[in-house]
Chain A
Amino acid sequence: DTGVSQNPRHKITKRGQNVTFRCDPISEHNRLYWYRQTLGQGPEFLTYFQNEAQLEKSRLLSDRFSAERPKGSFSTLEIQRTEQGDSAMYLCASSLAAGRGGYTFGSGTRLTVV
């Protein structure tokens, strides 16, 4: 297992288009988290899953955002009708349920909306 994998690494899209990102967590980790990070800021929590159940969503996650983890393994984050303000790095992390060992983050997907 090579860690948390995110695809694509970079995505440029036109305003109004839909985009989807994928995250493959560490296989034995049953928690999966999505964060967003803009320039000069720390990562901001968006949502997390335990297995296939989405247990918490941030107020940052507007109705244009949806995340799924259908089989408790990989996850997708979709943004509909993208806006320029959605431009950011989208980070995925995974951990064991207790979370004590720390999160393992992927390298992120950098989204640019033009």
Chain B
Amino acid sequence: DAKTTQPTSMDCAEGRAANLPCNHSTISGNEYVYWYRQIHSQGPQYIIHGLKNNETNEMASLIITEDRKSSTLILPHATLRDTAVYYCIRTGANSKLTFGKGITLSVRP
């Protein structure tokens, strides 16, 4: 039970922003939202995580709704190399990661 819900797939045009949604309506107050991505034949790669506030790093931005029931990962300028499976995971600070099937992002030229 991955405890988050993501669409199966989406695509976006190269150079445009990719907005990947995630639903975690039963998230607990002490659970974080983590995003990882997995490019074919590689291990998952950490992208970003957050608790309540929006977060930004060199890879992406994470927007968490005020009620924390959903979040959006934003890749501001998608490139072909961003084509991957993206996993949204909720977990306690000291707990293991439980992956679902993720969302397959296809970036088209």
Contacts and interface: CB of A to CB of B under 8 A. Distances in A.
Interface secondary structure of A, over-half rule: loop
Given A42-B2, A42-B100, A42-B101, A99 B94 contact: yes
Interface of B: 2, 32, 34, 36, 41-46, 49, 85, 87, 91, 93-102
A102 B49 contact: yes
Interface secondary structure of B, over-half rule: loop
A4, A91, A93, A99: most-surrounded residue (chain B CB, <10 A): A99
A91 B43 contact: yes
B43 A106 contact: yes
A48 B95 CA distance: 11
Interface in A69-111: 91, 93, 98-108
B94, B96, B98, B102: most-surrounded residue (chain A CB, <10 A): B96
Contacts of B98: 45
Contact of A40 (B43, B87, B95, B101): B101
B32 A103 contact: no
A102 B62 CA distance: 15
A103 B46 contact: yes
A108 B93 contact: no
Contacts of A103: 36, 44, 46, 97
